Amino acid sequence: MSTQDIAREQRAQVPVDGAASVVGTPDGARHGWSVGIDIGGTKVLGVILDPGGLVRHEVRAPTVRGVEGVVSGVVDVVTQLTAQAGVALEDLAGIGLGVPGVVAPGDGTVEHAVNLGISQRVSLGVLVAQRLGGVPLVAVENDLNMAALGAAHLSDVPVVDLAFLALGTGVAAGLLLDGRLRRGAGGAAGEIGHLTLLVDGLPCKCGQTGCLEQYASGTAIDAAWPGPHERPAPAELFDAAAAGDAAAIAVRDRFAWAVASAVRILVLTCDVRRVVIGGGVSQVGEPLLAAVQGVLAAEAQASPFLASMALAERVVLAPAGVPVGAVGAALAGRLAREGAL
């Protein structure tokens, strides 16, 4: 994807919602360039945003597990991005890192991030800042919190109140409530994948049974629609269902029901204005959205209470082909330096 394509997709920006909001407005006069890095289990994905909040360059690198591997990988990506943009490190308005793990709400210490091979407490932001030669502050947040910030920034209409619902290996959400990240007392807000969907249901590696993520994750689709596949299992499943395959329709509908349940949990608990569906499965696109909204609409038919909650209308897909988490991380980096995160 070219820089122009990315920029085109990101014209719409979110205005500031008063001082309470952490979602910044594009304001070239006030803000400099910023770098955001989404550290995943397989790849490190970095972007550099221009002062107007547009993605100008994107860099990917394979993840090297362990603290040293992660820190070196991040430093390499930051260095590449600033070189590509011709921006000096000291002129950056911020750097942010999204981490797939538990991050302490107070100081951004990573408590553990199993998929990165990090099991001890580590101040990842401090280590990266030192290695970069003493940049003032590197913001660290859970990757889904970063994605929630990114989704708000990239939204086509102003919204500062949403859940980013990630359907990937597992299921979890990032929460932006009233313009503020909801990290939770222990940094574990949004761990809805381990709520019980079906009592006495499928066993989960967490030790419970019937967990939501056994039904609403990409892993669940892989299990219920086994390969070999030429394309990702979710895409093949939804295509087969659209072509009328009865088995595929059954698997798809059960999956959509589980995702709809996740939406219901998020809205009836937090009453978020919007639920943004992201993660690997969201690459299915409109057919996924239609299936989930179909379940929600049918449930609303049966329940005046659910109808009043307008669940189907709150659900949207994360923007396709845009590194939402990395964009959010860049925003967070800037906002942290401004004391607004």
Residues near a copy of itself (CB under 8 A) are: 161, 175, 177-178, 180, 182-192, 194-199, 206-208, 261, 264-273, 299, 302-306, 309
Measured from the CB of residue 52, what is the shortest distance to a copy of itself in angstroms? 28
Cβ–Cβ under 8 Å, residues 38 and 45:
yes
User: Which is nearer to a copy of itself, 121 or 231 (by Cβ)?
Assistant: 121
User: Which is nearer to a copy of itself, 192 or 316 (by Cβ)?
Assistant: 192
Cβ–Cβ under 8 Å, residues 330 and 36:
yes
User: Which is nearer to a copy of itself, 71 or 103 (by Cβ)?
Assistant: 103
User: Which is nearer to a copy of itself, 66 or 303 (by Cβ)?
Assistant: 303
What is the chain's alpha carbon radius of gyration, rounded to the nearest angstrom?
20
Measured from the CB of residue 80, what is the shortest distance to a copy of itself in angstroms? 35
Query: Whole-angstrom Cα distance, residue 156 to residue 217?
Result: 26
What is the token pair recorded at 31? 């803000």
User: Which is nearer to a copy of itself, 243 or 302 (by Cβ)?
Assistant: 302
274-278/315-317 β-pairing:
parallel
User: Which is nearer to a copy of itself, 216 or 309 (by Cβ)?
Assistant: 309
Measured from the CB of residue 267, what is the shortest distance to a copy of itself in angstroms? 8
Measured from the CB of residue 196, what is the shortest distance to a copy of itself in angstroms? 7
Measured from the CB of residue 262, what is the shortest distance to a copy of itself in angstroms? 10
Query: Whole-angstrom Cα distance, residue 272 to residue 252?
Result: 26
Query: Whole-angstrom Cα distance, residue 233 to residue 169?
Result: 12
Q: Which residues of 50-89 are buried (b: 16+ CB within 10 A; e: fewer)?
A: bbbbbbbbbbebebeeebebbbbbbbebbebbbeebebee
What is the token pair recorded at 84? 């590509």
Measured from the CB of residue 101, what is the shortest distance to a copy of itself in angstroms? 12
Q: Position of tokens 């330096």?
A: 337
